[in-house]
Amino acid sequence: MSLSRDKIHMLIEWLGEDGTRSGLERSFYSVKELRTFASELNLNIPTKTPRKELISAIVSKSSQRIDKTIQELLSMSSSELLNYFDKVRPSKEELLSILGDLDFHPGGEAQKSLYKYAARQISETGMFQRVASDS
């Protein structure tokens, strides 16, 4: 029985990320099968990566809820981003990772309202990029 995104998503839904990691660590899947699945997820894993780290990367990638590229997010307005975030319910870590990729580092107050902060920052950056490209 091979791994699939649907199976991993179901495990994450049932067991959470930590439970899914533990389950995969104790599973019958070989490192080769895990590597094959990681490549299907477009993960670039070094060949000497230990099984535990490989599994952690697979679970982290599989638990991501934002399925749009940064460029797609930058093309959206603040209200579109807020609606999208409400729909997909990304984790705080996922939003902070995207903001970090854009070189934004929110302070304590902004983290209380992270969806709004992320939507505003991504939207404004996209607007500036669109204005700059029209010049």
- pLDDT, tens digit, 9 for 90 and up, residues 9-65: 899 989 988 999 999 999 999 999 999 999 999 898 998 899 999 999 999 889 888
Q: The tokens 């984790």 sit on which residue?
A: 91
* Tokens found for residue 88: 């997909």
pTM for the model: 0.63
What is the C-alpha end-to-end distance of the chain, expressed in Å? 54
Q: How confident is the model at residue 83 (pLDDT cuts 50, 70, 90)?
A: very high
pLDDT of residue 4: 86
CA distances from residue 52 to 28, 35, 80, 108, 131 in whole angstroms, order as listed: 13, 12, 38, 33, 45
Q: Is 50 helix (H, G, I), strand (E, B) or coil?
A: coil
103: left (phi over 0), alpha (psi -120 to 50) or beta: left
Cα angle vertex 76, ends 93, 114, to 5°? 30
Q: Encode pLDDT of 105-123 as tens digits.
A: 877 776 667 788 888 889 9
pLDDT of residue 70: 92
On the question of pLDDT at 86 being above 90, the answer is yes
pLDDT of residue 22: 95
pLDDT of residue 135: 65
Q: How confident is the model at residue 76 (pLDDT cuts 50, 70, 90)?
A: very high
Domain boundaries defined on the chain: 5-62, 70-134
